[in-house]
Each structure stands twice: as C-alpha cells, then as structure tokens.
Amino acid sequence: MSIEELEEQVDKLLEERDELEEVCDTLPQCAEDNGCETCNTYKKIAEIDDKIEELEEKIESLMGEEEEE
C-alpha cells in the first residue's frame, strides 16, 4: 500500500472519529464524570485511535524506507 493510500485511510478515520465525538457530546451519560468510560461511542473512538496509530506507524516506516533509497 502506498503512503497516499494510507493517508487517505487516516483522513477517513479522523472524519469518522469527529462524527462519533459529536454523538458522544450529546449523550447524557457522557456529561457525567467518567461517563465516557462505559459509553460505546467512546469505545469506538478508542478503536479508531488504535487504527490511526497503526496506520501512522506504517506511513512513518514507509517514509523512512524512501529516505534510505
């Protein structure tokens, strides 16, 4: 997979994340202290964060390879 494709995926995930955060903000449960610890929306956001981190690592290693050539 190319760097551009990976960056596109990161952008899509960030968009998804924004939408989920908006949902999270409107949940009464999430207005309470630590309410997000048990909310499903927040769980999905955390999963997306993990995926973004993985993709960024891949992008970094690909960029490193390009510099070596």
Interface contacts to Zn ion, rule CB under 5 A: 24, 30, 36, 39, 42
Q: How far is the CB of 39 from Zn ion (least distance, A)?
A: 3
Interacting residues of 20 by C-beta distance below 8 A, sequence separation 6+: 41, 44, 45, 48
Could you tell me the smallest distance in angstroms from the CB atom of residue 4 to Zn ion?
33
Report the nearest approach of Zn ion to the CB of residue 15 (Å): 18
User: Looking at beta carbons only, is 36 or 62 nearer to Zn ion?
Assistant: 36
Q: Which is nearer to Zn ion, 10 or 24 (CB)?
A: 24
Cβ contacts of 36 within 8 Å, gap of 6 or more: 24, 29, 30, 42
